[in-house]
A = this chain, B = another copy of it.
Amino acid sequence: MLGEFELIRHYFAAAACARAGGEVVLGIGDDCALLQLPVGEQLAVSTDTLVAGVHFPDPCDPFLLGQRALAVAASDLAGMGATPIGFTLALTLPAGDPLWLAELARGLDSMALDCSLRLIGGDTTRGPLSLTVTVFGRVPSGLALVRSGAQVGDLLCVGGVLGEAAGALPLVLRQAEADADVAEHLLARYWSPQPQLALGEALRGKATAALDISDGLLADCGHIAKASGVALQIERDRLPLSEPLRRFAGDAEALRCALAGGDDYLLAFTLPAAELVSLQAAGWPVQVIGRVLAGEGVQLIDAAGNEVAVSERGYNHFNA
């Protein structure tokens, strides 16, 4: 299947992204790729697999699939505050349709350019459709945004409006319809998430803990709480919900998507109040949604400060 990987390279950014340069000493074509990091920096690595029929509908638009597969993986670099270097692609597919592959490559390429990621290697195999993307980034030693540093008294923040990708699922699966402008907006949030790489870099040395929201806000806040040995309190009425999502899904469902729907690929993070001011002054889209308390777990409260029962957590892929 070398020919098919060659085809992907052919369609990939006029091959410019696959060549050596910067941290990429050796790209595609040998037993391994070679990366060279600047002195004082560490390598950040993350692997994500998307399986047809589980993480995306099959059939689907290969251009959108390429965009989404790379965005999902790149978002983990954002969650570490890492600067993107490159990625490898392990592609398993049932048949070699050149047009399909060309569209997939074009989608990958589009997101790779947005994220400044080079294609540095890969493997193409015959089998049921799935993509495994491994992303590489670099971060100054000691400045990576881990999950374990949240401090009592910190603010809990997110990088944008929540729940839109999860709210788009009925549209993705063609189980519902919406006005063209609403549908277009929500579908874009599902198919073309925008990894918050620049925000991640801006949070270095400022955020005490961070991650990208992929399992849903409640579940992911639970990860920070557990790793940091603290409790996170979320104020329900401060959750940023978008007008298109509320219009399409209604307030209750929009809230459910924001809390428990996955696939946001926005950053959630904790930081001291003093850092918030400078970030907002610099124009970063930082929304405060709660705070860090002593204790454990995640607590949801209403405007009066009363705890709200939470019945649904975690994963909300449409078939998992």
CB neighbors of B among A79-137 (8 A): 79-80, 82, 88-90, 92, 120-123, 125-128, 130, 132, 134-137
- Chain B contacts for A125, CB-based, 8 A: 49-51, 54-55, 130
Q: Are B30 and A42 in contact (CB under 8 A)?
A: no
**Interface presence of A29 (CB below 8 A):** yes
**Interface presence of A147 (CB below 8 A):** yes
Q: Are A137 and B32 in contact (CB under 8 A)?
A: yes
- Chain B contacts for A39, CB-based, 8 A: 39
Assembled-state Cα–Cα distance A144/B31 (Å): 10
> Smallest CB-CB separation from A86: which chain B residue?
B45
Interface centre among A39, A44, A132 (most CB of B within 10 A): A132
Residues of A within 8 A of B (CB-CB), count: 62
**Interface presence of A48 (CB below 8 A):** yes
How far apart are A135's CB and chain B's nearest CB, in angstroms?
8
Q: Are B144 and A51 in contact (CB under 8 A)?
A: no
- Chain B contacts for A53, CB-based, 8 A: 127
Q: Are A127 and B51 in contact (CB under 8 A)?
A: yes
Q: Are B141 and A47 in contact (CB under 8 A)?
A: no
State the oligomeric state as a number of copies. 2
Q: Is the interface of A mostly helix, strand, loop or mixed?
A: strand
**Interface presence of A34 (CB below 8 A):** yes
**Interface presence of A77 (CB below 8 A):** yes
- Chain B contacts for A76, CB-based, 8 A: 31-32
- Chain B contacts for A308, CB-based, 8 A: none
Assembled-state Cα–Cα distance A256/B76 (Å): 46
Assembled-state Cα–Cα distance A46/B144 (Å): 24
- Chain B contacts for A249, CB-based, 8 A: none
Q: Are B92 and A36 in contact (CB under 8 A)?
A: no
Q: Are A45 and B144 in contact (CB under 8 A)?
A: no
Q: A32-B46, A51-B92 are in contact. List 12 more A-B contacts (CB 8 A).
A: A30-B80, A31-B145, A32-B45, A32-B79, A32-B80, A34-B44, A36-B42, A43-B43, A49-B123, A54-B126, A90-B90, A128-B130
Closest 10 A/B residue pairs (Cβ): A31-B79, A51-B127, A32-B44, A128-B128, A132-B132, A31-B76, A35-B43, A47-B88, A90-B132, A32-B46
A-B residue pairs in contact (CB < 8 Å), sample of 23:
A25-B141, A29-B227, A30-B79, A30-B80, A30-B211, A31-B212, A34-B42, A34-B44, A34-B80, A35-B42, A36-B141, A46-B121, A47-B88, A47-B122, A49-B123, A49-B125, A49-B132, A51-B127, A88-B134, A90-B132, A90-B134, A125-B130, A127-B128
